[in-house]
Chain A
Amino acid sequence: MLRYILSRLGQSLVLLLIVSFIGFAVLTLAPGGPLSQFALSPGMTQEQIEKIAAQMGLDRPVAVQYFDWLRHLVVGDWGTSYRDGQSVLHVIGSHLFATLLLMGSATVISVSLGSTIGIFSALRRRSGFDYTMTVLAMIALSIPTFWFGLIAIYVFSLNLGWLPAGNMYTVGDGSVLDYLRHLIMPAAVLALVDVAIWSRYMRTSTLNVINQDFVRTARAKGLTRRRVVLKHIVGNSLVPMITLAGLQLPMVLGGALVTETVFTWPGMGRLFLDSLGYSDYPVVMGLLMASAILVLIGNLAADLIVALIDPRIRLD
Chain B
Amino acid sequence: MTKDKKHKQQPNRRQALMMMGAAGTAGLMGPMAIGRDRAFAANADASGQLVLAFSQEPTVFNPLMPHIEVDEGLYYAVFDPLFDFDPSGEFFPILAAEVPTVANGGISEDGLSWSLKLKDGVTWHDGTPFTAEDVKFSLELTMDPDFRSFRSTGYKLMRNITVVSDTELTWEMSAPFAPMAAILASTYIIPKHAFDGVADKNNTPFNNAPIGTGPFKFKTRMAGDHIELEANADYHMDGPFLKTLIIKYVPDLNVMYTQFKSGDIDVIGLQYITPDHLAEAETLKGKVVTVAGTATFESLGLNMTRPQFQDRAVRQALYAALDKSSIIEALYYGVPSPTETYMPRQSYYYNPDLPKHEFSIDKANAILDEAGWMRGPDGIREKNGVKLVFSNSTTAGNHLREQAQQFMQQTFSQIGVKMEIKNLPPAVMWGDYWMNSEFDSVVVGLNALAGADPDTSNYFMSTMSPALGGSGQNTFAYQNPKVDELLVKGAATFVPEQRKAIYEEIQMIIREDLPFLPMFQYAVIKGWKDDVTGPAPNVNNRIDTWNVRDWKRG
Contact = CB atoms under 8 A, between A and B. Distances in A.
A-B complex is real: yes
Interface string A225-249: 0000000000000000000000000
B425 A167 contact: no
A257 to B, nearest CB: 13
Given A31-B432, A45-B473, A40 B207 contact: no
Interface in B227-259: 246, 248-252, 254-255, 258-259
Listed residue (A43, A52, A56) with the most chain B CB atoms within 10 angstroms of its CB: A43
Contacts of A298: none
A166 interface: yes
A242 to B, nearest CB: 32
Given A171-B248, A277-B427, A267 B224 contact: yes
A155 B246 CA distance: 30
B153 interface: yes
Contacts of B226: 171
Most A-side CB within 10 Å, residue of B251, B429, B466: B251
Nearest to B449: A42
A276 B61 CA distance: 20
A86 B57 CA distance: 14
A80 interface: yes
A32 B153 contact: no
Interface residues of A, number: 54
A61 interface: no
B501 interface: no
Given A32-B427, A33-B427, A49-B435, A43 B153 contact: yes
B430 A40 contact: yes
Contact of B450 (A31, A38, A43, A45): A43
Contacts of A84: 59-61, 207-208, 223
A55 interface: yes
A132 B437 CA distance: 59
Contacts of B530: none
Contact of A171 (B69, B246, B432, B444): B246
A39 interface: yes
A76 interface: no
B518 to A, nearest CB: 17
Contact of A39 (B51, B62, B430, B447): B430
B471 interface: yes
Contacts of B436: 46
Contacts of A52: 66, 148-149
A147 to B, nearest CB: 15
A83 interface: yes
B68 A37 contact: yes
A46 B471 contact: yes
B222 interface: yes
Contacts of B264: 164, 170-171
B26 interface: no
Interface string B438-449: 000000111111
Given A36-B426, A164-B264, 10 more contacts: A32-B430, A38-B66, A43-B458, A47-B471, A52-B148, A94-B224, A164-B259, A167-B225, A171-B225, A279-B427
Interface of B: 49, 51, 57, 59-62, 65-69, 146, 148-153, 183, 202-203, 207-208, 222-226, 246, 248-252, 254-255, 258-259, 262, 264, 424-436, 444-450, 458, 464, 466, 471-473
A-B pairs with lowest CB-CB distance, top 8 = A266-B224, A32-B427, A84-B59, A32-B431, A32-B428, A166-B255, A36-B431, A94-B223
